[in-house]
Amino acid sequence: MGVLLVAFVIFGMPSQTPTVIGLAGAGLTVALKDFIVGFVGWFVLMGRNGIRVGDWVEINGVGGEVVEIGLLRTVLLETGNWTDSGHPTGRKVTFVNSFAIEGHYFNFSTSGQWLWDEITLSVSTGQNPYPVIEAIHKLVVKETQENTRMAEEEWQKATTRYRVKSFSAKPAINLRPTGGGVEIHVRYITRAQNRQATRARLYEAIVELLHGKDTQPAPTLPS
């Protein structure tokens, strides 16, 4: 700025001052585009549909917990995608806030951070799968009834604002025939941070149920 002022004093103002100022402004806008969009993105993230510290989100394919939201950057504690164990990897990932304007991000819409999880069992050929299915369904309903109730209440509050039909969080069981018998897929709701603990508890309860229910060969659990 000092050099420009000296040049203006010595040589006078250029005849195309508006053009020069316009070109300089355009150049600065292009050079600072990421910072400008990132700053605007901060306002979007602070809005009603934005994100908060502690939220579990996925940004540009990276999942994790939000640990910092700055004017220009957002920092995640990486935990991998939702099919992984969900444990922190120890890495912090930083994103310019422009992703809120130019890209997209996924965030849990409820305070409980609910997600659907699934466990798989295998019933060998020759064994009647329906008594097993009925027993497992009752067990899963009992073990997850509190989560089901709280998830449905939170979803009801979230969907009322958008006039969307409320969702059911009740467990569901599907059958898939295989060459060696039948696969039983049990789908249930759980909190994101308790996913592994809920899965381990259900596996333990199912094993106890099957070994104490009858003398038929028990379904095999996935490794």
Mean pLDDT on 30-34: 72
The residue-averaged pLDDT of 37-58 equals 85
The predicted pLDDT at position 39 comes to 86
Are 203 and 117 a contacting pair, CB within 8 Å? Answer: no
Share of the chain above pLDDT 90, in %: 5
With 0.75 as the threshold, say if the pTM is over it. Answer: no
Q: pLDDT value at position 7?
A: 73
Span 144-188, pLDDT tens digits: 999 888 888 877 776 665 555 556 788 988 888 887 788 889 999
CATH topology for the 114-213 domain: Alpha-Beta Plaits (3.30.70)
Q: What residue segments make up the domains of the chain, in order of their start?
A: 33-107, 114-213
Q: What is the CATH number of domain 33-107?
A: 2.30.30.60
- Which ranges of the chain would DSSP assign to H, the alpha helix? 2-11, 17-31, 33-45, 99-102, 129-162, 195-213
Kindly tell me if the per-residue pLDDT of 67 is higher than 80: yes
3-state secondary structure of 28: helix
